[in-house]
Structure 1
Amino acid sequence: MEEGSPHRRGLGDWAIPVIALFWVAEYLIVTTVDHLASATAILFLPRALICVSGLVLSLAITRMRGRSAAGWRIIALPAFALLGAFLQTSVDYGIFRLFAPEMRPRIDGTIYLADTIHWFWIYAAQLGIVFSLDYSRAVADHERRIAVLDRLAHQAQLRALRYQLNPHFMFNTLNSIATLVRRGDAETAEGMIEDLADFLRATLAVAPNEDIALSRELELQALYLAIETKRFPGRLRVEMDVSPESARALVPSLITQPLTENVIRHAVAGSRASVLLSILARRVEDQLHLTIANSSPDRGTDAKGMNVGLTNVAERLRVRFDGECSFSAGLQPDGGFAAEIHLPFVVAR
């Protein structure tokens, strides 16, 4: 059986100290008071033997609880308690007739029934504690398993979303290199290949579900933008306005990649004029506000590539932060297009 299960057997069973403590309390609270009142020293021995026998019976009955379902335990609890009560009453009579026969000269039906009812509640109480702790531990174990599975599912989903970037990016970059080769610009194409190698080397070293510092995220984007700057000389300008404090904030790795790609595909590639791509990051109270904007009117809001990129970012943020962040994208009053990410401000420790 798996370690940590609430029904694990052996001397390490957590029910042993619970039951032992129960019987110690039974002896101290009930029998000690009786001893002090009776002033008969010999009663200490039979009372102690009764508690020891009760401990043994309780442990034996507790081992019988098994791995039954909660519904069965509702039936099993009174049945086990009744079994323990009858056995304990019989042991009780046997011990007293052996050590203090004056206490139990003969078996009287009424007294026997009264003693059985007394022991029934004793066993019902301790088994109720054991069964309740069993249930609470089972629930805690179930919730822990759900939490582990949920975390693994989130990690798998984040990896899947993150890996969607690679084919998209590779297609765009290789297409840019092919364009330069067709133009006969071998030197620029060679430089782009080197930049691509640097970018892939850097990005492959980052785990898909890892959070990285914004400064590192922007270093990776700088490698990508160096490639696109060669593809669109004179048509792409990049500005980064990132406060030193916000540069330390953790963000999902390559979360800005689809946004910068959209600027290239839907603003720079479709414009003859120079386009400014700006990245702004600030800490606002307990949040990081990150904005990726461009100065050209959006030309591809309905394009499949644009929607895929924005959906990817929105879904990664939703899975990673579970409602503790926001993402919006759209045309700006000045005619540009901007995407804004607000997420919890957390720095690496």
Structure 2
Amino acid sequence: MAALLPIMLERAGILVIAAFLLSRLKTFRQIIHQEYGRKEKLVLILIFGIFGMISNYTGIVIEHGKISEAFGHSHLSVESAIANTRIMGVGIAGLMGGPVVGIGAGVFAGIHRLTLGGYTNIACSLSTIIAGIFMGLLGKRYNVRGKYAALQAVCAGMLMEMLQMAIILSVAKPYEDALELVRLIAVPMITINGFGTFVFILIIQTILLEEERTRAWQTHRALQIAQETLAHFRKGLNTESCKKAAEIILKRTSADAVAITDREKVLAHVGAASDHHIPLQSMSTKLTEKVLEQGKIMVATSNREIQCTHEGCPLQAAIVLPLLVREQVVGTLKLYFKTAGQLSSVEQELAEGLSKLFSNQLELAEAELQRKLLKDAEIKALQAQVHPHFFFNAINTITCLVRTDTDKARALLIQLAAFFRSNLQGSRKMLIPLEKELEHVKAYLAIEQARFPGRYDVVFDIDPFLKTAMVPPFTLQPLVENAIHHAFSRPGAQKPSVAIRAFVKNGNFYMVTEDNGKGIPEELARSLGNVAVDSSDGTGTALWNIKKRMEEIYGRGAMFHIESRENAGTKVTISIPLDEMWGEEYAKSICS
């Protein structure tokens, strides 16, 4: 037994080295990171089935208690057996790919072991297939990404080796030889297979951790670039703003050149090939024209694919991304590289993220321009409520989250985009569906609750059939924002909460926001909604604006009422006659 242990460790080391080399392959790493389809499962079965075959060939032959260290056994005598690490590869296959992969690798390795002969061939083949089934079921239940996955895998692998010993004793004949074999190989095989499984799972977890760190760093880089370029892109697509933005992108990425265009000409080009990619001239690459036409991301890995019209252009690879405003292509962002090898998947994902962020920034820029041109002073005043510090606070929150919770950071980034998209859409429309206004509210709350988790509760009580009701934009969101920022500055006996309700009653459509905050002084409450009020907490412009728009759209039948008691909370009620919203006949059918 003592002599067998170091030899088993040596053979297991061969598999661990093979596993490490395998983990460096791009294809294998891609399989680990994605969901397993049929193709991926087949690849895993082949990989770990081959691992089982290698284990069989590198196993240690034992005959009448004597140990042979020779490699490559093609056939064993009826008095021989093999001590090997076959169960390790099959077990890891099951843990990674589930029952199908576990059974497939088990059958693959088990049949191969059967062909080698020896008096334990049937027992070993049977135990290999059973191990594949068991570990596959275990893999379906437990995640190899889990905190204690390595420990669980070791325990399961050692248990499978114990099961193999039991099957050898039950099936192998003669029993005396089987018993002597188990006494000799049980402890070394259980120990070494457990150790090998532990190392293999650590290698897989290292691959996953590397990817998570890469994505976190990539997200951090994208947000950092977005934050630095925000001031420039907010000025729209012009030569000055695009040049400064391109310089920042070139500095923060591994690209050799960065260019930004509108639909007709190059607005900025910095880096390599600046001698012929000249701003304010027409596009010099056919690839850019295709992106403008199709609105899709395109990647080129050769000068021929870029189709630059200048002979001798040093740029050999590129990724060209559309810049979108209201789903219309208004320009492109281009990252150029001198060699195709520089254009890695990481750089592509970073570029795609930047394209989306820059598109949002351009929409913000257009929104600002539209806001300046709007004749409706009330909409202008309401749009001014979206202060830049809200955006920067949200960006800072997301930047912190990418280091601790990347999934939450991505979700919050989506909510931030939804919030500003609602702002843009609302500034161009007189009425929007209530469900769109509620999406605006929820996107705002998601960002605020990420900054101050658990500080307050929000309850929605909306009649489902009212979600399609058309209401003025920026109706509920400013009310909720007021409650969040002003109602809860005083610590109270109960947890702060905001209730948002929409319902029909007595021929009227009601929207109500109610909080349990500090309330509003009586004198101030009488003024809010009637005039813009100067106070330490704000001007009250949003409330006045909402009331004014309600009256202008629905007439005097619309009601805007503020009910507040100090230290008890504030309730804001908006009431609109149904016949003003949907017409008299439809209103009667709703009420009935």
Q: Normalising TM by the smaller chain, what interval?
A: 0.3 to 0.5
**TM-score, normalization: structure 2?**
0.29
* Structure ranking higher on relative contact order (CA contacts 8 Å, 6+ apart): 1
Larger Rg: 1
